[in-house]
Amino acid sequence: MKITFWGAVGTVTGSLHEVEAAGRHMILECGLFQGRREEARRRNSGLPISVDSLDAVLLSHAHIDHSGNLPSLTKAGYEGPIYTTPATVDLCGKMLMDSAYIQEKDAEYVNKHYGRRRKINSGSKGGQVEPLYTMADAEKVMPLFKPAPYHTETTLGDGLSFESYDAGHMLGSSSIILREKNGSAETRLAFSGDIGRPGLPIIRNPETLPPVDFLIMESTYGGRLHEPEQEAKKRLAQVVNRAWERGGKVIIPAFAVGRTQQIVLSLHELTLENRIPEIPVFVDSPLAVNVTEVFRQHPECYDAETREHLYEDRDPFGFKMLRYIRDVAESKALNNMKEPAVIISASGMCEAGRILHHLKNNIENPRNTIVIVGYQAEYTLGRRIVEKRPEVPIFGEARKLLAEVVRINAFSGHADQRELLLWLKPLAPKLKRIFLVHGERPQSEALATAIRDLFSLDVVVPERGDSFDLS
């Protein structure tokens, strides 16, 4: 068995890991790289693997940094199977089409914007922007999905199979174990996917994996600790109350899958507990609306508390002050509202979609608050906001950052260092080597040091393009 690391090494986006085993050629993930526009374009359009020789794709979950470049794969001619859990298949059906639509519309908006600037100033920089892929490219992905339920062994070829386990990160997320058998010998490679946090609302806790020889493990928060989830709700209540008192809006960039539903549920509970006023809450994302419907279709993925909501005939994703918005005109009308409100919109890293318009219209008002509830990759707009830069670029124009910025990491679907080490502990006695991915270099190195100190294991933090033979 041989693995080569092409994405999510030294960063958290663009997951792509190549595996060769038992005469088969596969990739784990095909994620969208997010960051500097030119670098993102180059990485996403220039696939580093041979599509002609590719036999299968194994996908851990539907987040765009893991699944979002699948349309580029089919655009390049891939027609093989894509294995993932049933809930992930349903989510990708919504998310990939939405990603393609956003890319088409954002390219159209930017081209129109540059066109106006060139009319005013012929020396203005900027040229025509093409979408990375289209909705037609995304449509070609869907027939390739092969549902692979948890705890069900799936054969990939002679002597090669995989099985998935609940990663507890989002609806349908999985950790994957690949098994290669050669006579009486067996090599077992686990891929953690993104590891969730025990005790988060809606979905089940991460499962413990059976023993393996090698592990590819995420390290997003490898050097950090999260505050407790109840503390996050307390801070969210404080933010909403402050905004209410000064007549401002709360703008929450949130991933349409998982994070949006968590925030909605928390606001619902805070309202029932009379800890926040009856402030209007808008989920302004067609994708989030569609994804919430997928959540309703997969109660088998819920934790006991969320199932209890359903048994009592209470909708965990809906309450009196909440409104889901699809229509563009309604979305634009939110920017003319003078009353306090909470607006939740995608994308979570502020790189595309309606959130850009809400930020453009609200970021320069000190009465407003921007709440960051998820990881912001390097060079993204979300990272610049977290860093509280005096000015940030939105649609190519500098905007003053005058709104309050609050970061609440406890809503993250990623385990922190302590939780990662607890998840790893049962696997440690049998492991030969760990490869740390999906983390910026300082986070990966911090987790590597902690693992070596606690378990005395061989830990590698690979570079892009590094290959390893597993034996």
Closest CA to 182 of 23, 54, 3: 23
Closest CA to 295 of 353, 256, 342: 256
Closest CA to 31 of 86, 90, 92: 92
Sheet holding 154-157, edge to edge: 154-157, 160-166, 174-182, 185-191, 214-218, 433-437, 459-460
In the structure, what pLDDT confidence band is assigned to residue 272 with cuts at 50, 70 and 90?
confident
Round to whole Å and give the CA distance between 324 and 289.
6
CB-based contact 383:374 (threshold 8 Å): no
Domain with CATH 3.60.15.10 in the chain: 2-224+415-469
On the question of pLDDT at 124 being above 50, the answer is no
For residue range 49-70, what is the model confidence (pLDDT) as tens digits?
Answer: 999 999 999 999 999 999 999 9
Q: Can you name the CATH fold of 229-411?
A: Rossmann fold (3.40.50)
pTM over 0.85: no
For residue range 298-342, what is the model confidence (pLDDT) as tens digits?
Answer: 878 888 777 776 656 566 666 678 888 888 889 899 988 889 999
For residue range 82-103, what is the model confidence (pLDDT) as tens digits?
Answer: 999 999 999 999 999 988 987 8
CB-based contact 447:439 (threshold 8 Å): yes
Q: Hey, is 435 helix, strand or coil?
A: strand
Q: Which two tokens stand for residue 283?
A: 């989920």
The type of residue at 58 is: L
Closest CA to 203 of 27, 62, 382, 98: 62
In the structure, what pLDDT confidence band is assigned to residue 241 with cuts at 50, 70 and 90?
very high
Closest CA to 40 of 82, 68, 81: 68
The partner residues of 467 in beta bridges, in order of sequence, read: 4
Domain with CATH 3.40.50.10890 in the chain: 229-411
Would you call the peptide bond into 99 cis, given omega within 30 degrees of 0 as the criterion? Answer: no
Residues in the chain: 471
Sheet holding 16-21, edge to edge: 145-147, 82-84, 56-58, 24-28, 16-21, 2-7, 467-469
Roughly what angle, to the nearest 10 degrees, separates helices 286-297 and 86-120? 180
Domain 2-224+415-469 has CATH 3.40.640.10: no
For residue range 346-392, what is the model confidence (pLDDT) as tens digits?
Answer: 777 788 778 899 999 999 999 999 999 887 878 889 899 999 999 99
The partner residues of 190 in beta bridges, in order of sequence, read: 177, 215
Closest CA to 82 of 25, 138, 139, 144: 144
